[in-house]
Amino acid sequence: MNTQPFRPLYDQLTAEERVQLVLAAVARGDMDEVARLRDSCRRVTAVIGDLQYTELLQGMWLVGAEILCHWLDVSHRSSGPVLPQVLCGAPPHDAATVRECEGPAARDRRGPRSP
């Protein structure tokens, strides 16, 4: 396909027209045309926030999401209270350790320990 006569108009293309032409060029294997369309795309100046701040905030969010996923995974596999197990490092079904970690108030509510 001869795209030579159309090239001077590349800077006037809308985003949708440019994407359609890029898809057509990719379909016919014309990577030079893809590069020309990309290079003729209008440039904009952007103002963004401080990258160090953004990276730190995003990192904190990712760590929080990871902790939440771990918490959900642990609580899904557990049949009893989750917090004492996680804090004390008790295996998910070690009831004796869970009782020790919960403290006397929780044991009193539950009643005497069964043998």
Q: What is the pLDDT of residues 34-44, one digit of tens each?
A: 999 999 988 89
Domain count, the chain: 2
Whether 47 maps to a domain, the answer reads: no
DSSP 6-45: GGGGGGG--HHHHHHHHHHHHHTT-HHHHHHHHHTS----
Tell me whether residue 90 is in a domain. yes
Report the C-alpha gap between 21 and 23 in whole angstroms: 5
Q: What domain range is 83 assigned to?
A: 63-110
Q: How many CB atoms lie within 10 A of CB 36?
A: 17
pLDDT digits (tens, 9 = 90+) for 61-111: 999 999 988 888 887 776 555 555 555 555 555 555 555 555 555 555 555
**Predicted local distance difference test score (pLDDT) of residue 3:** 52
In a domain, 75, yes or no: yes
Least Cα distance to 102 among 78, 83, 75, 74 occurs for 83
Angle formed by the axes of helices 15-27 and 31-39, nearest 10°:
160
Answer whether residue 29 is part of any domain.
yes
Answer positive or negative: Cα dihedral of 83, 87, 92, 97. Answer: negative
pTM above 0.85, yes or no: no
Whether 52 is in a domain gets the answer no
